Structure 1
C-alpha cells in the first residue's frame, strides 16, 4: 500500500510509524494541555487501526470526565510520572515476602497461630512465589488467575486455602494504590472451582465394634485407656492431647474441653462452640478411672506418651509411634486416627442419638456438619434430626 492510500485509511489521531522492527501504530491525544503520543506495539492492519481509533476515543472520553489514569492505558510510559500518576513496578515476590514477614510478626504478637503460619509459608513458598514471584503486581490479570486456578488440580477446599494469602496480598496492593482493583474480585471463583477442582477422596470410614475390641485388646495399658476414652468421646486429636486432670469431674461424669494442642502449642478451640462440657458414658468413665492410677498423681495431662512418660506433643506422634503399630498388631485395616472421631459420631447417630446434643458434644455450632458427614447413618424410622426430645444416646 502506498503512502497516500495508507494515509487515507488511517483514522484521525492515529499514525503509522516505520521502525527497525517494522511498522507500528501511534495514538495522539491532548492531556492537561500537553500533546501526547503513545505507541501501540501492533502492526497497522485494518483491524488494529480500528482498535486504536476506539482506544483513542475511550481515552478522550475519560479525559473529558476526569477519569483518565495514564498507567491504566500505558503502564510503561514515562509520561505517567510527569503527570503525577503512580507507576508501580513492584514485583509479586516483594509483596509475598512482606506478607510472610507480617504473618511471622503476628505469631510473635500472639494474634496468629503457628499452625496457620506454617500453612501460609508452605503456600507462599510452594505455590505463589514460583508462579507469580517474578511478575509485576499490575500484570496479574483476572484471565491470568483464572487459567492458574483452573490448572491447580486440587480439591476446592485446597484451592481456597492456596488463594487465601494471594487475595490478602492483592487486597493490600489495592489499598496501597499499587493496583486499581483486586483481580481476584473479577474471578467467578465458586463457578470456576466447581468446574475445575478435583473431588475430595477423603471419606468417613468408621471402625466396627469388632475392630474397636481388637484395637483395645492389643494395646498396652495406657494405649487401651486412651483409645477407649477417645472412641467414647470423639475428641479432636489436639483436644485429647491437651486434656488435663483438672478438667475431669468424676462426680458428674463430665469433662471440660477448653484447650487444644496444635503444633506443640496449647491454645483455645478454634470456635466458641469448641469450648464445652461433654458427658461421659460409663465406658469412657471406666477408661479414665483406670488411667487415674497411672497419671493422676503426676498432675497435668491425662494421657502421656508411654515411651517417654511425657505429654504427647502432636497428633503425628501418636499416629507414628502408637496408632500404626497397634493396628498392625490387631490386624485391623489402617485408617488415620481422625476416624476415631468419625466412629464416635456415626455410632451415636446410628443408635438414635439426639443430633443437637451430639453437635454440642462434638463442638459444632449447629447440626449441619453432623447431617452432612453422618446423615447416611440416621435411622430411617422417625425424624430424630428434628426432635430434641429424642433419646440422647444408647449403650455404647
Structure 2
C-alpha cells in the first residue's frame, strides 16, 4: 500500500500518493513535489506527516476534504454517493435498462422497481444494509420465487453502484431469502382432459378453433403462436421454425423468451390440419393467426384469454388460461411414453431438468403398457 504499509508511496517522479479512509471509503490522493529541490525521502516524510494530520482531523470531525484537496474527483464521487438515495439510483438504473430489455421484461422491471422504491427509496444508497432487505422480505406475503424476482433489480443496481465506486460493497452480493414453504400443490399445472378439449373445440369455429387446436397439439407458448408467420412453416418437412414471440406489452415481435426458445420442432398431424384450415382464412403469407373480430394480428394474450373464457363457459368446461394447452400437450406426450429429451427441446426448455421437474408425475407409471417394451425386448435373454 505504501512505504512499509504507512499509507504513502511514490507513484511517479513528481508525485506521492496518500491513502486514507473517509466516510467508509478508501481514498487515494496525490501530492506533487519537485525532485530537483526536494529529495524523495524528504517528500515521503512530509507526505507521512500530512497523512497523519488528515487521519487525526477525520477522527476529530474537523477534516475539510474540499479545502485539503481542491478539485478532487474522488471527493465529488463520495459527496454524490453520500447523498444519493436508493430511489434516485434505481431510477437511474431503470433508464439504462430500458434500451436493453424486452418489453415484457422491462414491464416487470418497472413493477418491481416501484415496490423497491416504496420499501427502500428513502434510504441513502450508502446506508442500505442487508438487514433492511431481510426484514422487508419477512414481511411480504409472497412466495420465495416472487420475492427473489422483486429483489433482483435491487441486487443488480447495487452491483452497478459498487462497480462505479459509489458504495464500497454490494450488501446483497450473497444474499438469499428463503422461508419454509408448504409443498407445492401443482397450482400452475392444470391440463385439460381429452373430453374437455373435445368440448372446447366443438364450441368454437374459424380462427379461434384453428388457434386452439394448434395450441393443444404443439405446446407452443401463446406469445410464440401470435408471432408465427407462414414463412416459419415447412409443410414438406413437417416442421415449425420458432424464432419470435410477441407479448402483451410488446408493439412488435421480439426474439424468443430464452435462447433455447429459438428452435425447430415437429409439426404433428392435428396441428398440421389446423394450419391447413387456417390458411383458407388468413391467406398464405404473413401472420398465421388473426383476431377474427378485426382480421388483424393478435395484440397479445389478453384478448385471447377473453375469447377463451367465453368458449369454456359455452362448453361448460372449467376455465383455465390458454397457457394450460401447453401443459396439456406436455403431460399427454409424457403419458404416451414420448422421450423426455424430445419434449424438452420441443417446449424450448433450457434443460431437461426443467422439463422433468415440471412434469415429473407424468413420466413414470402413467402409460398403461409401461414396462412391457423392456419385457418384450429382453425376456428371451
TM-score, normalisation: structure 2:
0.75
Q: Provide Cα deviations, 1:122-179, integer angstroms capped at 9, x if missing partner.
A: 1112x11111111111211122221112222211221121111111221122222222
| Cα distance in 2, alignment partners of residues 248 and 146 from structure 1 | 50
Contact 1:324 1:334 in 2 (8 A): yes
**What residue number does 2:344 align with?**
359
Q: Which of 72, 75, 85 lines up with 2:24 in the alignment?
A: 72
**What residue number does 1:155 align with?**
143
Counterpart check, 1:302 vs 2:254: no
**What residue number does 2:230 align with?**
245
**What residue number does 1:232 align with?**
217
**What residue number does 2:65 align with?**
81
| Cα distance in 2, alignment partners of residues 350 and 314 from structure 1 | 31
Residue 84 of structure 2 aligns to a residue whose secondary structure is coil
Contact 2:221 2:323 in 1 (8 A): yes
Contact 1:229 1:283 in 2 (8 A): yes
**What residue number does 2:254 align with?**
267
| Cα distance in 2, alignment partners of residues 359 and 287 from structure 1 | 23
Matches within 5 A, 1:94-173: 94-104=88-98, 106=99, 111-125=100-114, 127-173=115-161
Taking a change above 3 Å as real, the CA distance of residues 146 and 198 of structure 1, as seen in their structure-2 partners, is farther
**What residue number does 2:239 align with?**
254
Q: CA deviation at 1:331?
A: 0.5
**What residue number does 1:312 align with?**
298
Contact 1:243 1:259 in 2 (8 A): yes
Contact 1:154 1:197 in 2 (8 A): no
Counterpart check, 1:325 vs 2:332: no
Q: CA deviation at 1:220?
A: 2.0
Q: Provide Cα deviations, 1:166-222, integer angstroms capped at 9, x if missing partner.
A: 1122112222222211111253x1xx3244799687321100000000000001222
Q: CA deviation at 1:311?
A: 0.6
When the two chains are superposed, the root-mean-square deviation of aligned CA atoms in Å is 2.8
Residue 96 of structure 2 aligns to a residue whose secondary structure is helix
Q: Provide Cα deviations, 1:231-257, integer angstroms capped at 9, x if missing partner.
A: 000000111101111111222222211
Taking a change above 3 Å as real, the CA distance of residues 201 and 132 of structure 1, as seen in their structure-2 partners, is farther
Gapped runs of 5+ residues in structure 2?
1-5, 8-17, 26-57, 70-74, 374-381
| Cα distance in 2, alignment partners of residues 113 and 222 from structure 1 | 28
Contact 1:244 1:300 in 2 (8 A): yes
Taking a change above 3 Å as real, the CA distance of residues 366 and 176 of structure 1, as seen in their structure-2 partners, is closer
| Cα distance in 2, alignment partners of residues 254 and 195 from structure 1 | 44
Residue 283 of structure 2 aligns to a residue whose secondary structure is helix
Between stretches 286-295 and 199-208, larger displacement belongs to 199-208
| Cα distance in 2, alignment partners of residues 209 and 76 from structure 1 | 79
Contact 1:152 1:197 in 2 (8 A): no
Matches within 5 A, 1:198-213: 202-213=187-198
Between stretches 281-290 and 172-181, larger displacement belongs to 172-181
Between stretches 208-217 and 158-167, larger displacement belongs to 158-167
Taking a change above 3 Å as real, the CA distance of residues 75 and 89 of structure 1, as seen in their structure-2 partners, is farther
Contact 2:159 2:173 in 1 (8 A): no
| Cα distance in 1, alignment partners of residues 255 and 60 from structure 2 | 50
Taking a change above 3 Å as real, the CA distance of residues 139 and 352 of structure 1, as seen in their structure-2 partners, is same
Contact 1:216 1:227 in 2 (8 A): yes
Matches within 5 A, 1:335-346: 335-346=320-331
| Cα distance in 2, alignment partners of residues 335 and 318 from structure 1 | 12
| Cα distance in 2, alignment partners of residues 117 and 78 from structure 1 | 46
**What residue number does 1:369 align with?**
354
**What residue number does 2:265 align with?**
278
Residue 193 of structure 1 aligns to a residue whose secondary structure is coil
TM-score, normalisation: structure 1:
0.72
Q: CA deviation at 1:309?
A: 0.5
